[in-house]
Amino acid sequence: MTSASTTAVKKTAKKSRRLDAQMIPTIAAVVIFILMLVMGQALFGTYTRLGFFSSLFIDHAYLIILAVAMTLPVLTGGINLSVGAIVAITAVVGVKMTMAGIPAPIAMIVMILIGMAFGLLAGVLIEEFNMQPFIATLATMFLARGIASIISTDSLVLPEDNNFDWVSAEIKIIDNPKISNDLSFNMGVVIAVLVVIFGYILLHKTRTGRTIYAIGGSRSSAELMGLPVKRTQYLIYFISTTLAAVASIVYTANIGSAKNTVGTGWELDAVAAVVIGGTIVTGGFGYVLGSVVGALVRSIIDPLTSDFGVPAEWTTIVVGLMILVFVVLQRVVSAVGKKE
């Protein structure tokens, strides 16, 4: 009896330690986020203001959505490089349509439809023609960016009184008399939260989600287990690219304009968020909520570097190094896990 219970204890101890190993990167991301906040607060004193948090979320709602969008393919060991370009093409089309007097809801629907079409195209290329995900989405990225450039290379501004306002209008919860201490949010943030909830439910509460993890573990095993791998792959790129269109709506509404170059390099920001958030680039492990933390870490780099007086040119290098550190960390963690 006693021996049985001790082995049981051992087992649970072993289990929790294993889970820890998987979660190290995610925990590290949370720790880094807090450290950044503490450092920012200590040095500049503005990082715990409610206003800081409000703008962090409002300004980066789009990145949170993109991070969720990127999490799905990365979980299977794939990638969706087209997200930034999808933001560009949908933004340009959406704003152009609104400028032409078409009601915003219709423009938004068209934006979503464009996202869906590109997602479907990526799915077809990957599943029907055996293209590697990063090549297929690199192609759709160029296609989307190119078409956006054909449509317009000007900076397009949303007309006054457009119906994009409802997304970006700030809603104050706490109206603090002190400067920049209001707690507020907008529909963009709400949409981002909904997307996160959607991602969470999809991955953890549906069979499709479990299939996504199974593909990440071993695609051939998933196939031999009779899981609908092909259909799931289609869904992944479809949802991922459609979410990029959603991110585009949120972003465009926020800044009120669009250009064909918008979203350049955002695929990297999204990958950074996902990787920092603990999703392993070879697939199989990771969490949507981790990606959200990753997106916040990525978001806070901008104010930090500018407060430190670091030239903006350095930001990309910092982000690059950060992805690198986390990818290396993943390697180490998985290598240690294997040795055990």
Partner 1 sequence: MTQNEPIVVMKGITIEFPGVKALDGVDLRLYPGEVHALMGENGAGKSTMIKALTGVYKIDAGSITVEGKPQTFNGTGDAQNAGIATVYQEVNLCTNLSIGENVMLGHEVRGPLGINWKKTHQEARKYLDQMGLGHLDPHAPLNSISIAMQQLVAIARAMVIDAKVLILDEPTSSLDANEVQDLFAIMRKVRDSGVAILFVSHFLDQIYEITDRLTILRNGQFIKEVMTKDTPRNELISMMIGKSAEELSQIGAKKERRAIGADEKPIVSVKGLGRKGSIQPTDLDIYAGEVVGFAGLLGSGRTELGRLLYGADKPETGTYKLNGNQVSINDPHTALKHRIAYSTENRRDEGIIGDLTVRENILIALQAIRGMFKPIPKKEADEIVDKYMKELNVRPADPNKLIKNLSGGNQQKVLIARWLATHPELLILDEPTRGIDIGAKAEIQQAVLDLAEQGMGVVFISSELEEVVRLSDNIEVLKDRRKIAELENDATVSQETIVDTIASNNAGKEA
Partner 2 sequence: MAGHNTKKDAGNPILKRLLSSNLTWSVVALIVLIVICTIFDHGFLSLSWNENTGGLAGPLITMLQESARYLMIATGMTLVISTSGIDLSVGSVMAVAGAAAMQFLVSGLNVWLAILLSLLVGLVLGCINGALVSMLGLQPFITTLIMMLAGRGLAKVITAGQNTDAGSVAGSEPLRWMANGFILGIPANFVIAIIIVCLVGLLCRKTAMGMMIESVGINQEASRMTGIKPKKILFLVYAVSGLLAAIAGLFATASVMRVDVVKTGQDLEMYAILAVVIGGTSLLGGKFSLSGSAIGAVLIAMIRKTIITLGIDSAATPAFFAVVVIVICVMQAPKIHSLSAEIKRKRALKSEAKAVTA
Residues of this chain that bind partner 2 (CB under 8 A): 79, 125, 128-132, 134-136, 138-143, 145-147, 149-150, 153, 260, 265, 268, 271, 275, 281-282, 311-317, 319-321, 323-324, 327-328, 331
Closer residue to partner 1 in complex, CB, 125/203: 203
Least distance CB 42 / partner 1 (angstroms): 39
Closer residue to partner 1 in complex, CB, 18/172: 18
For 95, list phi and psi in degrees, rounded to 5.
Answer: -70, -40
The type of residue at 9 is: V
Closer residue to partner 2 in complex, CB, 20/154: 154
Name the region of 285 (left: φ>0; alpha: ψ -120 to 50; beta: rest). Answer: beta
The CA distances from residue 164 to 15, 91, 255, 258, in Å, are: 49, 12, 10, 13
* DSSP string over 18-46: HHHHHHHHHHHHHHHHHHHHHHHHHHHS-
Through-space distance between the first and last CA atoms of the chain, rounded to whole angstroms? 28
The partner in contact with residue 140, picked from partner 1, partner 2, none with C-beta cut-offs of 5 to 8 angstroms by kind, is partner 2
Could you tell me if 63 and 273 are in contact, meaning their C-beta atoms sit under 8 angstroms apart?
yes
Closer residue to partner 2 in complex, CB, 174/317: 317
Q: Which of 274, 331, 333 is nearest to 74 (CA)?
A: 274
Among positions 246-305, residues that touch partner 1 (CB under 8 A) are: 284-285
| 103's tokens | 């009601």
Could you tell me if 186 and 167 are in contact, meaning their C-beta atoms sit under 8 angstroms apart?
yes
What x/- string results for residues 218 through 247 when contact with partner 1 is judged by CB under 8 A?
x-xxxxxxxxx-------------------
What x/- string results for residues 5 through 44 when contact with partner 1 is judged by CB under 8 A?
------x--xx--x--------------------------
Residues at the contact surface with partner 1, assessed by CB under 8 A: 11, 14-15, 18, 201, 204-207, 210-211, 213-214, 216-218, 220-228, 284-285, 339
